[in-house]
Amino acid sequence: MKRLKSTALALAMAAVTFGAQAADTPAKPHSKAMGDILAESKPTDWRPLDPENTLYFELPAGRVVMELAPAYAPLHAENIKTLVREKYFDGLVILRSHDNYVVQWGDPSDDELDKSNPPKSQGSAKSKLAPEFTVPISAATTFTKLPDFDGYAPEVGFSNGFPVGRNPKTKQTWLTHCYGAVGVGRGNELDSGNGSSLYVVIGNAPRHLDRNIAVVGRVVQGMEFLSAMPRGPAPMGFYENPEQRVRINSIRLAADVPAAERSNLEILRTDTPTFAAVTDARRNRHDDWYIAPAGYIELCNAIIPVREVKK
């Protein structure tokens, strides 16, 4: 009686996993499930992470791997890399964990959360940056359109492994606030975000933030070390008591980490037929558990598969 209840639900749900878990129930003959599609993918369907644009966010609980998309926020990506190379984030803290929203980190003293200490020096990083909330479409690397309707952008799709929106009329494109998106905190002044305080989306996609703040990349592994962080007790998830704040061991650029200590990950190229097939398998689920395929996929429900490769 219902012995496989949660297991079957879990299997039916497997394709929603954030990241690379590809387990799925057997596909019916007329279609393929995501796991089968990935199992049959070609080596050229995947690309490695670029060590020059990959950050290792080392927390006491484990490593969070973030990929930067410099084409979408070149000044911000560069400034973050400067901060990282000068070890700015080492010893700083998680400032807040706001349920169904974001986890944000930085220097409490830079944020008026803690006035007892002077802010940490930001070294040679710039203190202000021109806003990069959108960029010209011509600056983007690739664009593979998702045919499904989106309410937040005239067009949505994928660009080199990132979910993006774009507006052909204004000729602008931008990274979207899907689960795992990494953004740059800013004040009311549009140039006030410089990468010294970053956030990651941990809830239902807050797409209304799109085009209002600079998104610089996304988490590709270790998301659970951020998303399962206890929510802060103060309004908006802030940790008022310094003892509640998780300390950041370090943030490093993968290129600066010895090869043996790197996370060797590959991303499924989003301009391949394999990725289109994965997305379609999620648009219309064919396994035995589903009785009503959605016939639609919302941008942030698409999965951009990540896999670990042997060194």
CA dist., res. 190 & res. 1, Å (int)? 59
Tell me: does residue 169 bind a second copy (CB under 8 A): no
Residues 238-257 that bind a second copy (CB under 8 A): 238
Tell me the CB-side half-sphere exposure of residue 36, using CA atoms within 13 A.
16
With CB under 8 A as the contact rule, the residue among 7, 44, 116, 138 that binds a second copy is 7
Specify which residues 166 forms β-bridges with: 155, 173
Binding region for a second copy (CB under 8 A) out of 29-37, 80-88, 143-151, 263-271: 143-151
Contact 162, 72 (CB under 8 A): yes
Would you count residue 137 as binding a second copy (CB under 8 A)?
no
Only segment of 12-20, 28-36, 38-46, 264-272 that touches a second copy (CB under 8 A): 12-20
**Considering the complex, what minimum distance in angstroms separates the CB of residue 192 from a second copy?**
5
Q: Which of 93, 300, 304, 306 binds a second copy (CB under 8 A)?
A: 300
- Using the minimum distance from each CB to a second copy, give the nearer residue, 119 or 142: 119
What's the closest the beta carbon of residue 236 comes to a second copy, in angstroms? 4
For residues 196-215, which are near a second copy according to CB under 8 A? 196-197, 199, 203-213
| Contact region with a second copy (CB under 8 A), list: 68-76, 84-92, 99-107, 243-251 | 99-107
Comparing C-alpha atoms, which of 172, 180, 178, 185 is closest to residue 208?
178
Task: Provide, rounded to whole angstroms, the least separation between the CB of residue 196 and a second copy.
Answer: 7
**Least distance to a second copy, CB of residue 217, Å:** 17
* Positions 23 through 62 that interact with a second copy (CB under 8 A): 23
| Nearer to a second copy (CB atom), residue 53 or residue 185 | 185
Q: How far apart are CA 273 and CA 281, in angstroms?
A: 12
Among 76, 81, 166, 186, which residue interacts with a second copy (rule: CB under 8 A)? 186
Only segment of 69-77, 82-90, 221-229, 272-280 that touches a second copy (CB under 8 A): 221-229
Task: Choose which of 18, 90, 114, 280 interacts with a second copy (CB under 8 A).
Answer: 18
The nearest distance, CB 277 to a second copy, in angstroms, is: 16
Q: Which is nearer to a second copy, 53 or 125 (CB)?
A: 125
Q: Which of residues 275-294 bind a second copy (CB under 8 A)?
A: 282, 285, 288-294
* Phi/psi at 242 (5° precision): -55, -30
Question: Using CB under 8 A, which of 70, 157, 161, 185 touches a second copy?
Answer: 185
Q: What is the DSSP string of the chain?
A: --TTHHHHHHHHHGGG-SSS----PPPPTTS--HHHHHHT--GGGEEEPPGGGEEEEEETTEEEEEEE-GGG-HHHHHHHHHHHHTTTTTT-EEEEE-TTSEEEEE-GGGGTS--SSPPPP-TTS-S-----SSEEGGG-S--EE--S--SS-SEEEEETTEEEEEETTTTEEEE---TTEEEE---SSTT---SSSEEEE-SS--GGGTTTS-EEEEEEE-THHHHTSPPPSSGGGB--SGGGSPBP-EEEEGGGS-GGGS--EEEE-TTSHHHHHHHHHHHS--STT-SS--S---GGGS---EEE---
Q: Is residue 126 at the binding interface for a second copy, with CB under 8 A as the rule?
A: no
Which residues between 257 and 276 bind a second copy (CB under 8 A)? Answer: none
